[in-house]
Every structure is written in structure tokens, then in C-alpha cells.
Chain A
Amino acid sequence: MNKRYVMVHDENKCIGCQACNIACRSENNVPEGVTRLQVRVEGPFGEAPHLHFKYNRVSCQQCENAPCVSVCPTGAAYIDENGLVSIHNDKCVGCQYCVAACPYKVRFINPITKAADKCNFCKDTRLARGEQPACVTACPTDALYFGDANDSQSEVALLLNTKITYQEKTHLGTKPRVYRIPTKRGGIES
């Protein structure tokens, strides 16, 4: 595997505006009623005047050890040459085993294609054109970073080396590739 694409979400900079969510919809033609990405605003936590919110990015975690891939009976869910967890639409029968098995509950059945769907780091759209994912580009506060963590000079590699980050549900052994920089005021919650 030559590349190790990761995403970093800085929860300090995030304001929960959903610009990423909307950019994702239009870039990837996500149909009405389903979504690849939500930023849930949770809270408030703490006592006034130190109230704070938690901005929880809910999207595919691009697990290195992906439960959705190991359960898929047909091999429709697979890991591509760059390590991206992807779906062959034409091999998917819609058994929903992957939807049930994903611990992050971010897989869904696309109502148009009837195949399983989720965030794929814009692999078919912007990444294919050599651009950054739509959500990263659209973010007004630059809370999102994306890149190849195997490249030690990349922005994401530097970030992961210098900032405290956490990933969700690591105890399940999924090795998620979405990293979060926790809000300074809040504790780490995963």
C-alpha cells in the first residue's frame, strides 16, 4: 500500500455550519434523505460561562481493519490499492450486512442505486481529479485536513506528529483513519 489517506478534523476550529455536509451532497450526488457526512453538534457541556459544544463528525472512518469489508459476502465492499474502503456497485446485492456491521453506523443503502454507499474520501470525484475532498475545500474555518500520512512532509503527517488527536471506538480494533483534535476546553470523548 503506497498511500495512507487520512482526514483530520480539528474540533476547536469547527463551528458546526454543515458547509462540508452540503458540499459533499452536491459533489457526490448524494440523494435526498441519506447522507455521507453529518457534523453533529453535541452539548452544551460544562458550566456557564465556560459552556462548550462538541462537534462530532459522523462519516466513514475509512477503517484500516474494516468490518464492512470482512462481512461482505460478494466482495462488493473492498479496499483499493490506496487503502480506501470502497464499494463495487455492480457486485452489491444489498444484503445490508455491511450496514449492520459498521460500528460507526455510517453506511447506508443508496435509494437510487440500491447499493451500499458511504464517504469514500471523494475518490471517484475530486480525488480522481487530483483535488482535495469537497468537505475539506468547503470548510470556511479550515477545520479539515486531508492527505497522505505516509508522506512525512504532508500537512496531515505534521499535524499528527504535533497535535493530540484521538479516533473513535479504537477498542473495536478497526483502526479508523479519521483523526480528531479534541476541543481544548472539553475532555476527550470517543
Chain B
Amino acid sequence: MNNTWGDMAQYDPVTWNWVIAVYLFMAGLSAGSVLIGIGMRWYSRDKQTESPILKAAALIGPVAISLGLACLVFDLTKPFHFWLILVNYNFQSVMAIGVAALLAYSPLGIAYALIVLKDDLPKWKLGFLSGIADLLMPFRKIIEVLLFILAIGVGAYTGFLISAMNAYPMLNTAVLPALFLVSGLSAGAAANLVVALLMFNTDTHSPEVAKMHRIELPVIIAEMMFLVMLFSALYFTGGSAATALASLNTGIWASVFWIGVVGIGFAIPLLAMLLPSSARHSKALMLTVACCSLTGVLALRHFIVYAGQSYIS
């Protein structure tokens, strides 16, 4: 300490760290995977059999959000008082609205998982839950619709959560919720594929997988567009907002952006689409590409959280 006024540690502008970035990733992943799973079921003619993609989504939805919430609670300075957040609501606060949505989303996600995975439960020695699944079965449609709507809310809310802070020009933009929602879709699609291939033995040539691949390109393009919008908004705002553009060419977060988000998250999946069909349908390649997409989205959350907080207006 070589100033007269004392310790500066508490004034570090980066308040929220990687734990929050992982939470934002998990929430987006959970919502994206559920949206794709349910959306594909609605678009498919066969509504009798549970497709491997839907099963994967039903599993990832509650598991990812639970892991995310564990991160969130673990990051509180008073983790054992987390229940306070469940009983006191300030509905001006995006976080309070998000908690209310998650309070409905998480149990519904579990209920939906029981319904979709009913036939798999005995295999996992969870046969005792089949009774609950039977009881829930008549409500399948309503659960599905509510879960879908709440998943949109959960996916977008993570973006609203950090865009509500007007101190940070990179975060305080209307694009962020949309960016988080589409990148959540891309993570969800990738995770659905991984779990469907590894746990539910789906065929790499199945029409389901092909259908999911067809949304990959538009999702990546939308993500890139939102990123361009984010940065051009900063550029045209000028002043302290424009200084945040430095995050693209200086420091560790510039590398995370160009290597993680652009290189691994966008370039590899896009290049993979150019490969001959036989190679594209190999299980190994599909898994690799999916893991690249997931890495890209995780890198994006870290970049936004850290670079976003580093520039104050």
C-alpha cells in the first residue's frame, strides 16, 4: 500500500467471477436444451416414442439448472441464508424475477424428466419413481407448455440479469438477453447431441440428429450477428462505452474471445459443416464438434462477465 487512503482491494470493478459465468452457462444450457427437445417433439410427427434427443433434453434440463443453482448458492457470502431469497421478493429486481421463474422451472423440469424417462427409470434403479411418473402423465401437455415458456424466460433472464446494471456499458445493452438466449440454444443442441449419442445410443444418421443439425447454422449466424450488434452499439455510443472495445484486442479476455468464442465456438463447427457427409456423420466428429460448441459458449459467458465488468461508464 503506497497511498494515503488505504486498501484498494474492495474497489476491483470485477465483482462477479467465474462462478457466476458458470451459473449463466448452466442456466442457458438447461433452457436451450429443453427448448430444443420440446420444440423438436412438437415438430415431429411421431409423438408416441420418446426420441433420444428429447430424453437427453429432459435429463439435461434439471441437471444443468441444479448444478448452476449450486454454483449460485455457493457464491453467496451467506450461503446458509439462501432461503431469504426465496421468501423476500423485490420485483423491481431482475434477480428476484429470475428466482421466481426458477422456482417454477426446476420442479417442472424434474416432473417432465420423470414423464419422458419413465421407461428408463427401472434401468437406473429408480423404478420407485415410476408411480409418480404415472400420476404426472395426464398433465404432460400442460407441463410441456409451461416448461417451454419458462425455459424462454430462464434463457433470456440470465442476459437481463447482467444487462440491468447501467454502470457497465458492455453489459447494459438490449442485445445481451437475445445473445444469451441463442447461445444457450447452441449449447443446448450440442449437449443434447452428446447425451443422446453417449447415453441413449442414438444413430448418427437418424432424422432427429439431422434435424437438429439443420438449426445449427442459423443459430451460429444469429449469435455472430448479435455479437456484431453488441460491439457496434459500443462503437457508436462512443465515450466510455467505446473504450470497452479494447477488450477485443488487449489482455487475456481478448484471447478468450478470439480463441475460445470465435475459433473453437464458431470456426470449428462451421468448418466441420464443409466436410464430406461420411466424415460429418462419424460419431467421433459429432462429439468433437459438440464439445467445441459447448466450450465456445462457456468462453462467451466468461468473456462477457469479465470484460463486461472491466469497463465502467
Contacts and interface: CB of A to CB of B under 8 A. Distances in A.
Interface of A: 16-18, 21, 33-35, 38-41, 58, 67, 70-76, 91-97, 99-103, 105, 108-109, 114-115, 169, 171-173
B313 A34 contact: no
B77 A109 contact: yes
Interface of B: 3-7, 9-11, 13, 15-16, 75-78, 81-82, 84-85, 88-90, 92-96, 99, 164-167, 309, 312-313
Given A100-B15, A101-B164, A114-B78, A73 B95 contact: yes
Nearest to A89: B78
Given A38-B5, A74-B84, 8 more contacts: A18-B6, A41-B4, A72-B90, A73-B93, A74-B96, A97-B93, A101-B165, A101-B167
B20 to A, nearest CB: 9
Contact of B77 (A102, A105, A114): A114
Contacts of B165: 67, 71, 100-101
The A interface, classified by DSSP as helix, strand, loop or mixed, is: loop
A73 B6 contact: no
A75 B15 CA distance: 20
A94 to B, nearest CB: 3
A34 B7 contact: yes
A93 B166 contact: no
Contacts of A109: 77
B90 A93 contact: no
A105 B85 CA distance: 23
B76 A99 contact: no
A70 to B, nearest CB: 5
Nearest to B164: A71
Given A97-B93, A102-B167, A103-B313, A74 B85 contact: yes
